[in-house]
A and B are shown apart, each in its own frame.
Chain A
Amino acid sequence: MALIESKKIDQIEVVNDWNIQVRQATIIERDGEFVSRTFHRWVLNPDSDISGQEQKVKDICNAAWTDEVKAAYETFKAEQAKRMP
């Protein structure tokens, strides 16, 4: 009886232009039969260090974070720093 654990990025979503939502599934199989699946999530934005991300995540980040999107993100951050209208 062999238990095998595998990890896979199974979901990458672009939310509101600059938020890249990533989900990693950890799957446990016993003799090839599915036993369980758990999830770990993180979200990246243009300020994030993506050097440690898988290539497919980097590719989507780089495609989504155009100069226009980065500029919009910086404007958003400046507005939020005011905290109150």
Chain B
Amino acid sequence: MAIVLDGTNGVTTNSGTLISATTIGVGGATPSTSGAGITFPATQSASTDANTLDDYEEGTFTPTYIAGGGSFTTLTYFAQTGKYTKIGNIVYFSINVFTNSVTVGTATGELSIGGLPFTSDSTSQFHQAVSLGRVYRWANAISNMRAYVAINGTSVTFANMATNSATATTVQVSDMTTGANTAYNCLDISGCYKIA
């Protein structure tokens, strides 16, 4: 039996509860035929109400190393995994990246990780901190870096900022191990960020 909430009549029960043995679709979504839970529309119908959960999505993305300038001649990966779960306006993500071969070419400057699945919040100075896990097999030690999702973008930036200084040390292309080396330049990153 299906109960349809059509936005006009609604449903009232004596106990004030609504029970589904399997799945419930909201926003016109067809309830999933597997498991039990709430199915949201494939395309979000955003609510302006601060107390309304209006989206849920799981998926993958492809993280990549990005140079501040120029381009790598060769940049191949041993692992290049990104997974996300979006709940409302927050994206939870995990990244694992290893390189197999790096030829720098004209690549230069600051190194970051691009490819996040959604654009971050654009509020000025609202950089959102994330965590680094394994950091190894780099040419230079970078494990003391902090990481954050930069505003209005899709990249993770690295910096080590002294609290008494306005200058920052950043990860550079020159910190990478170059040449053909299986599973080098490893980074694990996890965190969450508010989207635009």
> In the complex, how many angstroms separate the beta carbon of B2 from the nearest chain A beta carbon?
18
Interface segment among A37-45, A52-60, A61-69: the answer is A37-45
B61 touches A16 (CB 8 A): no
Taking CB atoms and an 8 Å cut-off, the chain B residues in 139-170 that contact chain A are 150-154, 159, 161, 166, 168
B191 within 8 A of A: no
Task: Identify the interface centre among A11, A41, A42: most chain B CB within 10 Å of its CB.
Answer: A41
- The count of chain B contact residues (Cβ–Cβ below 8 Å) is 28
A43 touches B154 (CB 8 A): yes
B119 touches A41 (CB 8 A): no
For residue B168, which residue of chain A has the nearest CB?
A83
- The count of chain A contact residues (Cβ–Cβ below 8 Å) is 23
A55 to B33, CA, bound (A): 33
Main secondary structure of the interface of A (DSSP, over half): strand
Main secondary structure of the interface of B (DSSP, over half): loop
A4 to B148, CA, bound (A): 40
A40 touches B61 (CB 8 A): yes
For residue A43, which residue of chain B has the nearest CB?
B154
A15 within 8 A of B: yes
A64 to B117, CA, bound (A): 19
A10 touches B42 (CB 8 A): yes
A35 to B165, CA, bound (A): 56
Report chain B residues within 8 Å CB of A84.
161, 166, 168
| 13 A/B residue pairs, CB under 8 Å, sorted by A | A34-B33, A36-B34, A38-B58, A38-B60, A40-B59, A41-B59, A41-B61, A43-B116, A43-B117, A83-B168, A84-B166, A84-B168, A85-B125
List the interface of chain B (C-beta within 8 A of A): 33-34, 42-43, 57-62, 84, 115-119, 122, 125, 150-154, 159, 161, 166, 168, 196
